[in-house]
Structures are given as structure tokens and as C-alpha cells.
Amino acid sequence: MRLRDNYRQAVKKFQPKPSYVANSLKAFFIGGGLSVVAEVLRAQFRVNLPSLAAEQAVLLLFIGAAVVLTAIGVYDEFSQFAGAGSTMLITWFANSLTSAALEHRSEGVVSGIAGHMFKVGGAALVYGIVAAYLFGLVYFMR
């Protein structure tokens, strides 16, 4: 434990200080802008579809866009620039599945693509499902 603390203090001098305000403002404006785009799309879908189906259609459009952008290699640069403005959205999940599958393509179709697809995104899925199941049972017993 003391070794770890010493290492952290020694390394801290050489690390660049993150610029908190600039990064947060970038994430704020990009996340908010994407939310407004989603809201406009929902208003368009809402004309013909019921409420839940319209929301699902908008999310499917975002997922499709994230997968296509990952496939042509643009998403990485956008994600580097936007920070949490893109990684906190549902597009992070689509990007993590697609990039893991692409990365392990060379190991084969079964053990490469299918086996490694949930390498990063599976963590969010595991915690979400466990928490939802337990909280659902607690909700029923109330």
C-alpha cells in the first residue's frame, strides 16, 4: 500500500493537469446537442408511431449511426474530441461492441468475433441486469 502511494505521488509531478472546465463544457455542449437532435427526431417519428415505438426508433437510429461511424473509423476521433459527451450515450455501447468485434476479427469468426464482442460493453450489461432484477424483486415486495 505504501509503495503504491509513493508511486502515485512520484508520478503526479509528470502528469499533465486535466483542464476541468474546458473538458466539461465540451462534453456539456456535445451531449446536449445530440439530445436535441434526438428530440427533433422523436417529434418527427411521433407523427406516425406511438410514443414507445418512436423512442425506440430514435435510439435505433443512433445505434446504427454509431456502428457505421465505427466501421469507417470516424467515431474514434469524434469520441476523443467529445469525451464524455459521446461516451455516456447509448452510442458508447454500440461502439464498444463493434470495435471489440472488429479488433478480434483476425482470430476467427467464432472465437474471435462472437467470443470477444462483449469484452468492454458486457460490464455495463452485467451490472444493469443484476441491479434491475434485484430492484424489481424488492419493488414487488414493497
The amino acid at 8 = R
Burial of 63 (0-12, 13-18, 19+ CB in 10 A): middle
The three grid cell numbers given for residue 31, joined into one nine-digit string:
451531449
Residue number, 6 or 126, with CB nearest to another protein: 126
Q: Which of 6, 7, 8, 28 binds another protein (CB under 8 A)?
A: 28
Phi, psi of 141 (to 5 degrees): -85, -5
State the amino acid at position 99 in one-letter form: S
Write down the least CB distance from residue 10 to another protein, Å.
Answer: 18
Query: What's the distance, Cα to Cα, between the start and end of the chain in Å?
Result: 43
Q: List binders of another protein among 31-90 (CB under 8 A).
A: 31-36, 38-42, 52, 55-56, 58-60, 62-64, 67, 70-73, 76, 83-85, 87-90
Q: Shortest gap between Cβ of 79 and another protein (angstroms)?
A: 10
Please say whether the dihedral angle defined by the alpha carbons of residues 98, 100, 105 and 108, taken in this order, is positive or negative: negative
- Tell me if 18 contacts another protein by CB under 8 A: yes
Nearer to another protein, 7 or 135 (CB): 135
The answer to whether residues 62 and 119 touch, using CB atoms and an 8 Å cutoff, is no
- Binder among 49, 78, 102, 115 for another protein (CB under 8 A): 102
Q: Does 10 bind another protein (CB under 8 A)?
A: no
User: Applying CB under 8 A, does 20 fall inside the site for another protein?
Assistant: yes
